[in-house]
Structure 1
Amino acid sequence: MGIDWTGQIGQFEATQVRYGDDPLPGQAAFRYQPGGRPVLISAPHGACHWRGNDWKFQDGFTAALAHVLASHTGAHALYTVRRIRPDPNYDDDCDYKRTLAKLLQDHSIRLVLDLHGARYDRSFGVALGTIDGRSCPAYEAGLIQAFMDQGFDPDQAYFLDRLAVNLPQYRGGALQRTVTRFVWEQCRVNAAQIELNAHLRIIPGHNANSLTFTPDPQRQRRAIEALINIVKAI
């Protein structure tokens, strides 16, 4: 019998992540989960985040996904579990990125996978952003192949089976101080931003918001298998 991915992800999200709550006294808004592989999985939008003059919604279930992936692969993980300010994917002067930079150096990390969530009505199932190939030259081809091996392809007709690579809005940080850009430019480590459509991310029965769509556990499993294969190949 296979691993109950949806159960594990849903359980962690329900018990460990508080989207709109401030960090507990003396604690950070994010957690580090140590690993043994030279890969770090990041989820900076696991909870609400402050950008500009307002709180932005979380990318639901990305923190839980980072945790579960790291638990099953031995990757390191860094993810937000309480609301955080400033937005780690928009501002370089923040504790999340300072912690990330130290982890990359201390553990000789070779690849960062930065997980994010796209809306349910986007034109893809998975979007890979490598700043037009610059942020992840050593691994970009392998990332694409791992998703294609699971049926996600740029030429797929059905949108949830489509793998988008460096779409204008999803290039990983060409015009913004993202985690991917920070890791590549300032830490000199390969990094890729991975956006998962809400259909492939939200767990049925554990919805983060009022749902106007139907989650797709089968495609979610395929996306998880692709991510696992990426980590294990490094």
Structure 2
Amino acid sequence: MKRFIPWCFLLQFLKFFPFNRSAAYAEVDLNNLNSLHIENRLLEFILPYEDSFSQNSYQGDINTDIPFTIKEGSIPILVSAPHATEHLREGNVKKADIYTGSISAILHELTGSYLIQSSGFSEDPNYIEAGDYKQALKQIVEENDIKYVIDLHGSARHRDFNIDLGTINGQSIKNSALQKIKYRFESNGIDKVAVDHTFSGLSGGTIVNYSANNLGVEAVQLEISRAYRDPRNDMNSFYTLLLSLNEIINELNDNINQETLDSEMTFNDVPFSFWGWKDIYFVFKNNWMKGQTESTFSPNAHLTRSQAAVTIVRALELEAKEPLKQSFEDVSEEYWAFKEIEIARQHGIIGGYKDGTFGPGNRITREQIAAIFAKTIEDTTRAKRPAFKNVNSSRWSFDAIMSLSKKGIINGYQDNTFIPGGYVTRSQLAFMLHRYAQHRREIKDYDGIFWDK
């Protein structure tokens, strides 16, 4: 019977020898891999990686009391391969997810990610609630401020997906990061990329569940079809998978670096007690609105039409449909907001006056901003009765105000009035943009910082 070392003794071992830095794998880079692939020599490069797992009929090293390998990284991302070798689940021996060990090892060399992978026979690390593997993972995450855990697994060819991204039904990773991962696979030609299709990672013993719910770190479980992870089956598919995973890790690390570099919001006139501070923080972090000075936001200042155009074009990430040219006699090409005003006009979300002017310095009203937002939302339903006592159905902005009110993007006042002709303040626009983003759920990198009022 295989003897398993208790985790308390294991952690003492790791305390003095925190990472296995054996030279089992040579350092690799993309140029080397590409050259080997072109020369049809990539398989002979990969097989020695797999040998350490496939020995002893995929039970790995049978003489070790520590049935997993840890390698130190240089970026705050951890790659895990708990099924690189055979394992025991409820008394039954389960087959290894072949080549997940090799893939994780190569990714470690390519990207500088931290690595933990099974390298011997043990209880299933992805099934039991605790165990040595999870305790070691916990130590890596906490001591190195890991931001993402990417847990690699293998699925059979007969599954109707090539990759299944397990997210505990959206709970383990922000949607923005998930979409980046999915997009990278698909943009590299890997089709049938599913999310929580068969393997969601929902059970309590999974690495993704433990990472997200016990350690508070974002995590995703990647179930990879054997059609892509077995280089003996199709080297081109394997190489595409490897490049995609390398790009995913690098892009996630870029996100981490950007968030670290972002300066914190330090506006003296927006204390935490201010009703809209979370909304202002949201638009500031997204670079949609800036302070009027380095230390002031002026939340109660009225918004001009040009300021509104600039902010909305930034928020919607709109680009010009055609070469820009002057459309309004009072907005020259030298005007500071010329580009954004013209882009907004091209997209039909803001126009000028009948006399051919735009009125860039005019203050924008609440009903005008409602009309702008409403043009970006598909909503064919018409309200049957007013939601506000001073907005009747004959008013030109009635449908826009009712649509946005129904979606919670705009609010009225406590006396159930809306004051459609009132001027919009900077904090009110921040509120609307935040709620609009919640409605669309298409915001990059900041999908996890939505708040309720």
- TM-score scaled by length of structure 2: 0.45
Q: Kindly indicate whether the alpha-carbon contact (under 8 Å) linking 1:146 and 1:226 is maintained by their aligned counterparts in 2.
A: yes
Instruction: Give distance in 1, aligned partners of 2:178 and 2:81.
Output: 19
Following TM superposition, by how much is the alpha carbon of 1:20 offset from its aligned partner in structure 2, in angstroms? 2.3
Deviations 1:37-65 (A, max 9, x none): 11110000000111001111100111111
Instruction: Give distance in 2, aligned partners of 1:129 and 1:28.
Output: 27
| Residue 197 (1) aligns with residue 197 (2) | no
Change (3 A) 1:53 1:72: same
Matched residue, 2:239: 221
RMSD after superposition: 1.7
SS of residue in 1 equivalent to 2:80: strand
| Residue 64 (1) aligns with residue 92 (2) | no
Matched residue, 2:177: 139
Q: Kindly indicate whether the alpha-carbon contact (under 8 Å) linking 1:17 and 1:81 is maintained by their aligned counterparts in 2.
A: no
Q: Kindly indicate whether the alpha-carbon contact (under 8 Å) linking 1:139 and 1:190 is maintained by their aligned counterparts in 2.
A: no
Following TM superposition, by how much is the alpha carbon of 1:140 offset from its aligned partner in structure 2, in angstroms? 1.1
Matches for 1:1-234 after TM superposition, within 5 Å: 2-4=34-36, 5-15=42-52, 17-18=54-55, 19-21=58-60, 23-25=62-64, 27-84=65-122, 86-137=123-174, 139-152=177-190, 161-167=191-197, 169-171=198-200, 173-204=201-232, 215-233=233-251, 234=253
SS of residue in 1 equivalent to 2:140: helix
SS of residue in 1 equivalent to 2:66: coil
Instruction: Give distance in 1, aligned partners of 2:195 and 2:79.
Output: 19
SS of residue in 1 equivalent to 2:110: helix
Structure 1: runs of 5 or more not aligned = 153-160, 205-214
Deviations 1:43-102 (A, max 9, x none): 000001110011111001111110011111111110011111x21000122000000001
Q: Kindly indicate whether the alpha-carbon contact (under 8 Å) linking 2:100 and 2:154 is maintained by their aligned counterparts in 1.
A: yes
Following TM superposition, by how much is the alpha carbon of 1:3 offset from its aligned partner in structure 2, in angstroms? 4.9
Instruction: Give distance in 2, aligned partners of 1:191 and 1:72.
Output: 20
Instruction: Give distance in 1, aligned partners of 2:35 and 2:192.
Output: 25
* Corresponding letter in the other structure for 1:91: I
Instruction: Give distance in 2, aligned partners of 1:219 and 1:39.
Output: 24
SS of residue in 2 equivalent to 1:192: strand
Instruction: Give distance in 2, aligned partners of 1:3 and 1:116.
Output: 27
How many residues are matched?
212
Instruction: Give distance in 2, aligned partners of 1:83 and 1:68.
Output: 22
Matched residue, 2:359: none
Say which structure is richer in strand: 1
Deviations 1:88-119 (A, max 9, x none): 00012200000000100111110010000001
User: More deviation in 5-14 or 95-104?
Assistant: 5-14
Following TM superposition, by how much is the alpha carbon of 1:17 offset from its aligned partner in structure 2, in angstroms? 4.4
Change (3 A) 1:3 1:23: farther
Say which structure is richer in helix: 2
SS of residue in 2 equivalent to 1:79: strand
| Structure 1 residue runs of 4 or more that deviate by more than 4 Å after TM superposition | none
Change (3 A) 1:69 1:149: same
Identity, in percent, stands at: 27
Instruction: Give distance in 2, aligned partners of 1:16 and 1:218.
Output: 23
User: More deviation in 140-149 or 3-12?
Assistant: 3-12
- TM-score scaled by length of structure 1: 0.85
SS of residue in 2 equivalent to 1:170: coil
Higher relative contact order (CA 8 A, sep 6+): 1
Deviations 1:16-49 (A, max 9, x none): 5432256424x41100011101111000000011
Structure 2: runs of 5 or more not aligned = 1-30, 37-41, 254-453
